[in-house]
Chains A and B, each alone.
Chain A
Amino acid sequence: MGEYITILIGIILVNNYVLAQFLGICPFLGVSKKLDSAVGMGVAVIFVMVLATAATYPIQMLLNDLNIGYLQTIVFILIIAALVQFVEMALKKFIPSLHKALGVYLPLITTNCAVLGVCINNIDSGYNYMQSLVNSFGAGVGFLLAMVIFSGMRSKLEGNDKIPAPFQGVPITMTSAAILSLAFMGFGGLV
């Protein structure tokens, strides 16, 4: 149990995918304007990351057996894209409310580098199947955390007339993202 907690803390706080490893920056900046859409995106990412890891881990074993590990990236992208499409159709049929809640974010995640990154990192870190799943879940939670914190910051920045004119909009968003990232460096060495 202890090792899972270590993995979770490590991936959520210390090696946060967005703020420490700089993966998935696009949705982090694009979808963090409002809290509810940030939460929607974050939940969808958790969901897809765990599913993608569950599907790609056995495939990696197959690739290793055939000695074609270099196909990892292209095969993983193929699997993630197909999986997300499949899940979207299934959700639309069986859980329309969840499908509506995840909305456009589900297909958006298909080509998110954070999802591919977590799948590849699981293999590279030498985790077993269960550890991989926990790590993916933690990575998703870390993403959600970063999104929620940042959407809170952006709601303060939005329409704030104390920001000097040259910094309004994108510049102040980038700057505050950098400061948030610096703050997360404080967790370095925790695990």
Chain B
Amino acid sequence: MSEIMIPVLLVVAMGFVFAVILTIASKIFFVPVDETVTNLRAELPGANCGACGFAGCDDYAAALAADPSIGANKCPVGGADVAAKLAAILGIDAGSTEPQVAVVMCNGNAQAAKKLMEYQGLSTCTAAKQLFGGDNMCPYGCLGLGDCEAACAYDAIHVCDGVAVVNRDACVGCGVCAKTCPNHVIRIAPAKNKVVVQCHSKDSGAKTRKACTNGCIACKKCEKVCKFEAIKVEDNHAMIDPEKCKNCGLCAKECPTGAINNMRAKRKPAASSAPASSAPAAEEAKEA
């Protein structure tokens, strides 16, 4: 009996002794945390998305308490409300916070974008991307398997009809989807810019056109129609300067392919001629 009891008792006793020592140690070695940090942390949303540039909400609160000059406006999730509260705790100026949203730079839905193959592998964009860069003919397009949808903590991005669509009301601009996307299709842009180019293909117009009917073919019609010189064609696709753009939407109307979209207007069915596109387009319009 004692062959069993002695080892059992020894290990139990050791565990007990260690537990007691560690409990006492945690009391003796207790380090009081700065109250400012606790208060700041309480105001932060706790998304731990890292959009502020720190490792998480705890890290941002600690850094902010140590050095208020880094600014209380770093949290895009909380926006102006949280910035004001943080600034009030620290007794500093809130600074300006410009709301940001995610923009999907691809409009290649199931009707518009041509596929190279029928992908039957693991249903994530990362896996699809590793197999010859994905199943799209356009190497820049949205893979449509929803890695961003899975990563979004706010239920603000969904794959509709083979392409990711952002719900701009729900999006807080944390940028997690942009980091997740293996094809770098998503970028973070100021929410005030409602006219967006939904294509970032760097291929020539002819090549883009072959791969996707909604792609930007770099025809420069938008450049000519813009009264504010806000839109430029570079790297074979149009780009809008967020500072100069006045959201007039002329370029979106002029665009022959539907690569530029006005998020403010009720979205018309995409330029694709396929009749099946009207149902999902209506769904997209609701979200936009």
Contact = CB atoms under 8 A, between A and B. Distances in A.
Contact of B6 (A68, A93, A94): A68
A89 B6 contact: no
A82 B21 CA distance: 9
Interface string A75-99: 1001100100110011011101000
Given A90-B29, A92-B29, A92-B31, A71 B22 contact: no
B122 interface: no
B10 A71 contact: yes
Given A82-B21, A86-B21, A75 B11 contact: yes
B10 A90 contact: no
Contact of A93 (B10, B14, B15, B29): B29
Interface string A52-83: 00000000000000101001001100110010
B11 A71 contact: yes
A117 B28 CA distance: 32
A25 B25 CA distance: 32
Given A78-B18, A82-B18, A93-B31, A68 B7 contact: yes
Interface string B1-41: 00000110011001100100110011011110000000000
A82 B7 CA distance: 19
- Chain A CB within 10 Å — which of B11, B22, B25 has the most? B25
Contacts of A68: 6-7, 10
A96 B31 CA distance: 10
Contacts of B21: 82, 86
A66 B6 contact: yes
Nearest to A92: B31
A68 B28 CA distance: 34
Given A68-B6, A92-B31, A93-B31, A86 B25 contact: yes
A86 B7 contact: no
B14 to A, nearest CB: 6
B32 to A, nearest CB: 10
A86 B30 CA distance: 12
Given A66-B6, A86-B21, A78 B11 contact: yes
A184 B121 CA distance: 42
Given A75-B11, A92-B29, A86 B22 contact: yes
A93 B29 CA distance: 5
Contacts of B18: 78-79, 82
Nearest to A71: B7
A60 to B, nearest CB: 13
A11 B21 CA distance: 33
B29 A89 contact: yes
A78 B15 contact: yes
Nearest to B22: A85
Contacts of B31: 92-93, 96
Contacts of B28: 93
A96 B28 CA distance: 15
B6 to A, nearest CB: 6
Contacts of A78: 11, 14-15, 18
Most buried by A among B6, B18, B26, B30: B18
Q: Which 6 residue pairs of A and B lie closest in terms of their CB atoms, listed nearest first?
A: A82-B18, A93-B29, A89-B29, A68-B7, A89-B25, A71-B7
24 contacts: A66-B6, A66-B10, A68-B6, A68-B10, A71-B10, A75-B10, A75-B11, A75-B14, A79-B14, A79-B18, A82-B18, A82-B21, A82-B22, A85-B22, A86-B21, A86-B25, A89-B22, A89-B29, A90-B25, A90-B29, A92-B29, A92-B31, A93-B28, A93-B29
Interface of B: 6-7, 10-11, 14-15, 18, 21-22, 25-26, 28-31
